[in-house]
Chain A
Amino acid sequence: MSAAAPPPVVDLRHASFGHQGRPVVSDVDLTIAPGQVVAVLGPNGSGKTTLVTGLLGLSDHLGGTVEVLGTPLARLKDRTRIGYVPQRHTLSGGVRATVQEIVATGLLATRPWWRPTGPPDREAVRRALETVGLGDRARFDVDTLSGGQQRRVLIARALVAQPEVLVMDEPTAGVDEASQVVLAGVLRRLATSGTTMLVVTHELGALRGTVDRVVTVDAGHLGFDGTPQEYAAHQAERARAAGREGA
């Protein structure tokens, strides 16, 4: 292979995203290198979800340039190169489904419509479930799993097609303590294995130690951008400033 540095996983320049023609986040400059684990922090309604779903083609790209994995977004054919873990509190739909049936749907876009599931697909599902620590529950009805376990099923579904970057929307929100520990372990393992991750969250909490960059979104614009240590200092600084104002 050439010695040239690999292209950034995500490269946004003056990008704006929104819905039905109306921008929600605008003028975003963001470059994410391979292997980085980036937390996107911000209050509810700040536009952080619109920003990351923009990378998935779920919200409209309204301006600026967006390159994902070295390709302009609109020309990125194989969408399974970006793994998506949506913000869902439950997996149960109107019908019964097992854990492996749900995870297997992550592979559908990787093969033509007429080709049925083959042994390599089943092996990929098994491996993805091992990665999130649910290998022993492949045949369970997803309805019987806890909230945190269902969240890990969603992660396995995103991982099964072996994406180059994982985009997660609030993976730890509303998850009980025991599951948070396991979930944090899963994310740490993925980070150690070099998976690039973009994690939307409203608090660092369980992700502390895994994340190596923090970006904040507020009122549709990018604010802070730095390491978790710098973010902590930034927060302390703001708290002090607020304290002085209050006095």
Chain B
Amino acid sequence: MSDMLALDFMRNALLAALVVGLAAPMVGIFLVQRRLSLVGDGLGHVALAGVAIGVVTDSSPVWTALVAATLAGVVIELIRARGRTSGDVALALMFYGGLAAGVVIINKVQGAQTANLTGYLFGSITTTTRADVVVFAALSAVIVVVTVVLRQRLFAVAGDEEFARASGLPVLALNIVLAVLTAVTVVVAMRVIGLLLISALMIIPNAAAQQLSASFRSATWWAVGIGVVSSVGGVATSYYADTASGGTIVLLAIALFAVAVLGGVLRKAVATARHRRAERHPHEHGLECGHEAVEHGDHVDYLHDGHRHAAHEGHYDEHAPPEYDAAGTRPGRGRGDRAGRHTLEDREEVTR
């Protein structure tokens, strides 16, 4: 560990990975919500054209890429807002045009065997300078602040554009803000994991987080955690295993996704085994159902023919009275008891 941290370029690389791992999933969750997971990929293509312009004009590729990706992001939103069916084709033209122009220009200027091109496409984190890290950290800070301040609004617009517009939210403006945030994320991440893989760090941590959470808030936290672990962990792994950092980060994120899926399945299985479903009844418990409501910890139970029903997902659970819970035993009269705990004392069961 300390040998890695003793190297200047590795310290820069790890810092860059940290800020990217933090910022990318925060923006990505809204892309997942809008079902636009691949937009980041497209903006990455266009950013390459920006890099090429930077190479040709001998200016900093980070800023020209930022301008190109931002413009493309805004154009995408304007096309979407017009709701034209040809929009899809327009996006394809823009994305592949950007990638092709970038490759052609960079090869023309620097020769076919340029390491520079590969560096932008797949990341070259070890060439990150201290100045780069400062720029990335500043841009990431902007991303984090804007997404935190506007997260409820971005959530509302991404979830139900029609309602957001009816309630008076500036839908187009918020969509453009999200497009610009995506463009900035692409540029910040291009050195770390490369333009062709950047979308992965925006999307995969969120896909994993969805398996582990039941609310938007907790999904955001999980995604940021998984993003940071895979980007910093990926860079460290690539140092010891001598692998490409960008690819390693993405593979690590996918491995975490697999673990999250497994964890989600296990948790669900345990929850199913530990709770008992109540019998089905056609009405819904609530203020007007006529059954007495009883506080039970953090929720409300309804007294239904002498036993307690608590809402759970699409059904009701049998909840034992607290004294039974404390003793660790269950009353043996739950008719919906699927675990087969009925005993001979349960008369109802015997006569059936």
**Contact surface of A with B, Cβ cutoff 8 Å:** 53, 56-58, 77-80, 82, 84, 86, 88, 93-98, 101-102, 104-106, 108-109, 113-114, 117, 130, 133-137, 139-141, 144-146, 149, 157, 161, 177-179, 181-182, 185
Q: Is the CB of B156 within 8 A of A108?
A: yes
12 contacts between A and B (CB under 8 A): A57-B166, A58-B165, A84-B166, A86-B166, A93-B35, A93-B158, A94-B32, A96-B216, A101-B217, A108-B167, A141-B214, A149-B284
Q: Is the CB of B152 within 8 A of A117?
A: yes
- Is residue B352 within 8 Å, beta carbon to beta carbon, of the partner chain? no
Chain B residues, Cβ within 8 Å of A161: 167
Complex alpha-carbon distance, A102 and B217, angstroms: 12
- B166, B206, B217, B311: most-surrounded residue (chain A CB, <10 A): B166
Query: How close is B26's CB to chain A, nearest CB, in angstroms?
Result: 13
Q: A101-B216, A102-B159, A137-B311 are in contact. List 10 more A-B contacts (CB 8 A).
A: A86-B166, A96-B219, A98-B215, A98-B216, A136-B285, A139-B215, A140-B214, A177-B282, A182-B284, A182-B286
A79, A93, A137, A146: the one contacting B159 at CB < 8 Å is A93
Chain B residues, Cβ within 8 Å of A53: 166
B159, B164, B286, B287: the one contacting A97 at CB < 8 Å is B159
A93, A97, A114, A149: the one contacting B149 at CB < 8 Å is A114
**Chain A to chain B: the 8 pairs with minimum beta-carbon distance, closest first:** A79-B168, A105-B156, A144-B313, A133-B286, A56-B166, A109-B168, A84-B166, A141-B214
Complex alpha-carbon distance, A189 and B33, angstroms: 34
Chain A residues, Cβ within 8 Å of B282: 177-178
Chain A residues, Cβ within 8 Å of B33: 93-95
- Is residue B8 within 8 Å, beta carbon to beta carbon, of the partner chain? no
- Is residue B299 within 8 Å, beta carbon to beta carbon, of the partner chain? yes
- Is residue B283 within 8 Å, beta carbon to beta carbon, of the partner chain? yes
A84, A96, A102, A114: the one contacting B213 at CB < 8 Å is A96
- Is residue B155 within 8 Å, beta carbon to beta carbon, of the partner chain? yes
Q: Is the CB of B299 within 8 A of A136?
A: yes
Chain B residues, Cβ within 8 Å of A114: 149
Q: Is the CB of B314 within 8 A of A79?
A: no
Q: Is the CB of B311 within 8 A of A97?
A: no
Q: Is the CB of A58 within 8 A of B164?
A: no
Complex alpha-carbon distance, A181 and B159, angstroms: 28
Complex alpha-carbon distance, A222 and B344, angstroms: 68
Chain A residues, Cβ within 8 Å of B162: 58, 86
B156, B169, B216, B299: the one contacting A95 at CB < 8 Å is B216
Query: How close is A139's CB to chain B, nearest CB, in angstroms?
Result: 7
Q: Which B residue's beta carbon lies closest to that of A182?
A: B284
Q: Is the CB of A106 within 8 A of B166?
A: no
Chain A residues, Cβ within 8 Å of B239: none
Q: Which B residue's beta carbon lies closest to that of A19?
A: B83
Question: With contacts A95-B219, A133-B288 known, is A106 near B167, CB below 8 A?
Answer: yes
Question: With contacts A93-B158, A146-B314, A185-B288 known, is A58 near B168, CB below 8 A?
Answer: no
Q: Is the CB of A108 within 8 A of B152?
A: yes
**Contact surface of B with A, Cβ cutoff 8 Å:** 29, 32-35, 149-150, 152-153, 155-156, 158-160, 162-169, 206, 210, 213-217, 219, 282-288, 299-300, 311, 313-314
Q: Which A residue's beta carbon lies closest to that of B218?
A: A96
Q: Is the CB of B160 within 8 A of A178?
A: no
Complex alpha-carbon distance, A130 and B293, angstroms: 14
Chain A residues, Cβ within 8 Å of B219: 95-96
Chain B residues, Cβ within 8 Å of A82: 166
Complex alpha-carbon distance, A95 and B203, angstroms: 11
Query: How close is A72's CB to chain B, nearest CB, in angstroms?
Result: 16
Complex alpha-carbon distance, A245 and B22, angstroms: 73
Q: Which A residue's beta carbon lies closest to that of B34?
A: A94
Complex alpha-carbon distance, A106 and B152, angstroms: 10
Q: Is the CB of B215 within 8 A of A58?
A: no
Q: Which A residue's beta carbon lies closest to that of B174?
A: A113
Q: Is the CB of A105 within 8 A of B313?
A: no
Chain A residues, Cβ within 8 Å of B206: 95
B152, B163, B286, B314: the one contacting A145 at CB < 8 Å is B314
Complex alpha-carbon distance, A108 and B150, angstroms: 10
Chain A residues, Cβ within 8 Å of B158: 93
Chain B residues, Cβ within 8 Å of A181: 283
Complex alpha-carbon distance, A77 and B216, angstroms: 30
Chain B residues, Cβ within 8 Å of A146: 314
Query: How close is B87's CB to chain A, nearest CB, in angstroms?
Result: 15
Question: With contacts A96-B213, A140-B311 known, is A105 near B152, CB below 8 A?
Answer: yes
Complex alpha-carbon distance, A93 and B36, angstroms: 12
Q: Is the CB of A101 within 8 A of B163?
A: no
B166, B215, B287: the one contacting A79 at CB < 8 Å is B166
A86, A95, A133, A140: the one contacting B160 at CB < 8 Å is A86
Chain A residues, Cβ within 8 Å of B166: 53, 56-58, 79, 82, 84, 86
Q: Is the CB of B169 within 8 A of A108?
A: yes
Q: Which B residue's beta carbon lies closest to that of A169?
A: B162
Question: With contacts A96-B216, A146-B314, A179-B284 known, is A136 near B168, CB below 8 A?
Answer: no
Chain B residues, Cβ within 8 Å of A86: 160, 162-163, 166
Q: Is the CB of B300 within 8 A of A136?
A: yes
Complex alpha-carbon distance, A135 and B313, angstroms: 15
Query: How close is A50's CB to chain B, nearest CB, in angstroms?
Result: 13
Q: Which A residue's beta carbon lies closest to that of B30?
A: A95
Q: Is the CB of A113 within 8 A of B288?
A: no
B152, B168, B213: the one contacting A78 at CB < 8 Å is B168
